[in-house]
């Protein structure tokens, strides 16, 4: 536990300074959305994440959104355009800046995360999350018919237990994600 990676990721930081910098009150409910790093997955999952927060916004005090954005110009452009056309506002955090990303984690209440390495980061940060995954229907069919995995996120696979809620494939809808969060 004393290795360099675990010390960087351990959330012993206070999220208060990050909240203050972004004008958020200590009582705000902050959701971090991690829609992935590849444009195809971000275009598929970010709209679902945003609609989920729209459904939840009246259930939580002062809901706010942080989105660590992958350092990819196509992803950055898509996320910016999507937020501009959304009724929600979000604070975009440069995903390439580990300090800013982990400060956002420490200031957050919970996260919605596309399946991938970010799930491990969230667990190291001790930030509760729900893993969501959507793919092209044909890809989903191949995954379901060809694999024997019970889980898609690495922590669940390693522990062979559903310690992290997963909402996958056709079940991955704003309504289902909102139900899991409530």
Map out the domains of the chain as residue ranges. Answer: 4-136+165-181
Q: Where are the alpha helices (DSSP H) in the chain?
A: 4-9, 16-21, 39-56, 73-84, 98-107, 118-124, 137-146, 154-159, 174-181
Walking along the chain (182 residues) 10 residues at a time, the average pLDDT comes out as 52 79 94 96 96 94 94 96 95 88 94 92 92 85 76 88 93 96 84
Q: State pTM to two decimals.
A: 0.90
The pLDDT of residue 1 is 46
Whether the CB-CB separation of 173 and 83 falls below 8 Å is answered with: no
CATH of region 4-136+165-181: 3.40.50.2000
The CA distances from residue 66 to 16, 31, 115, 129, 145, in Å, are: 14, 6, 18, 14, 35
């Amino acid at each position: 536990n004393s290795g360099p990676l675990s010390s960087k990721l351990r959330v012993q930081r206070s999220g208060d300074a990050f909240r203050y910098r972004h004008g958020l009150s200590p009582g705000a409910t902050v959701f971090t959305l991690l829609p992935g790093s590849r444009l195809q997955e971000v275009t598929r999952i970010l709209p679902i994440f945003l609609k989920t927060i729209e459904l939840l916004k009246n259930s939580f005090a002062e809901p706010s959104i942080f989105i660590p954005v992958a350092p990819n110009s196509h992803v950055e452009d898509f996320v910016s355009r999507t937020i501009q056309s959304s009724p929600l506002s979000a604070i975009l955090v440069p995903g390439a800046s580990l300090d800013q990303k982990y400060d956002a984690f420490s200031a957050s209440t919970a996260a919605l995360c596309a399946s991938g390495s970010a799930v491990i980061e969230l667990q190291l940060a001790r930030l509760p999350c729900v893993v969501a995954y959507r793919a092209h229907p044909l890809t989903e069919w191949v995954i379901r018919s060809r694999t024997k995995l019970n889980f898609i996120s690495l922590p669940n696979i390693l522990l062979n237990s559903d310690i992290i809620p997963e909402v996958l494939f056709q079940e991955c809808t704003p309504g289902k994600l909102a139900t899991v969060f409530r």
